[in-house]
Amino acid sequence: MGVVTPLAAPEPLLSRTRLGLEVVIVLGLSLGQSAVYALLRIVERLTRNVPLAQQTSTLNASVTPDRPWLDLTYQLVGIIFALMPVLLVLYLLNLTDPPAGRTIGFDLTRPRFDLGFGALIALAIGIPGLGLYALARIIGINTNVQASGLGDNWWTVPVLILSAVENALLEEVVMIGFLFTRLRQLNWNVIAIIATSAIIRGSIGNLIMGVIFGLIYLRWKRVGPLIVAHTLLDITAFVGYALVAPHVDWL
């Protein structure tokens, strides 16, 4: 009596289904979820009786300003949980494209390139970005953005720096490293991949940056410099606002 070999499932179909589910689940747990809430907030703001230009959006808001020790705990816990999708996508990528860090350029093999190129990207994007924000404020199509809503505490600047690092890791590892890898494995064309990533970013304020970062990643295949650039941009915005805003009346 011969050995009965079980029938193998159609691997290509299973692989595409798995990859597609991974993308949906990851986005649903991370920036895709944020994008949906951001769109709802836009609708809510546009339907207020107050003009958009007279409204204020606060980033890094305080949770319990009257109890700084508890507020610090909230901020740190929020940063830790926000990084869970980063660990998830690295785990998923490592199952199919090991080592995950080298696959997406999230490693220490080219530190000088990542730091230098990342700083250059930050300069190239940051200055025009401030100009676009100022223009949007002048013509009344953007809210007044408060980059830091934390109080004057000893831990404010360190927490803002950690928040900047968290934002950079989440957006670049998930929206660039993971999403670009999986969508290419699903045979999406380059334009569709960049557009999808940029549109999701755009709902949370980073449409143009999403396009530029996508093009850079396709050229150099590394998220390292993108993480550096994003971190520097957010540190400048968060910490700069926290240090300058109390002393001027134009922020």
DSSP characters over 165-222: HHHHHIIIIIIIIIHHHHHHHTT--HHHHHHHHHHHHHTTT-HHHHHHHHHHHHHH--
Residue 166: predicted pLDDT: 97
DSSP state of 20: H
Residue 129: predicted pLDDT: 62
DSSP state of 120: H
pLDDT band for 237, please (50, 70, 90 cuts): confident
Burial classification of residue 61, based on how many CB atoms lie within 10 Å of its CB (0-12 exposed, 13-18 middle, 19 or more buried): middle
Q: What percent of the chain has pLDDT over 70?
A: 78
CA distance 52 to 166: 28
CA distance 187 to 102: 21
SS3 of 105, please? coil
DSSP assignment string, 24-59: HHHHHHTHHHHHHHHHHHHHHHHTSSS-GGG-EEES
Per-residue pLDDT at 111 exceeds 80: yes
Which of the residue ranges 15-19, 66-70, 93-97, 143-147 would you say has the lowest mean pLDDT? 143-147
Across 200-218, average pLDDT: 86
Residue 9: predicted pLDDT: 43
- Give tens-digit pLDDT for 129-159: 665 555 555 555 455 556 667 878 899 999 9
Listed residue (102, 95, 125) closest to 201, CA to CA: 125
Q: What is the CA 154 to chain-centroid distance, rounded?
A: 26
Residue 136: predicted pLDDT: 53
Residues 6 or more apart whose Cβ sits within 8 Å of residue 17: none
Residue 39: predicted pLDDT: 84
The pair phi, psi for residue 177, each rounded to 5°, is: -60, -55
Q: Which residue has the higher pLDDT, 137 or 207?
A: 207
**Are 31 and 175 spatial neighbours (Cβ–Cβ below 8 Å)?**
yes
Residue 11: predicted pLDDT: 44
Listed residue (160, 146, 149, 151) closest to 68, CA to CA: 151
DSSP state of 154: T
Mean of per-residue pLDDT scores for the chain: 84
Rg over CA atoms, the chain: 21
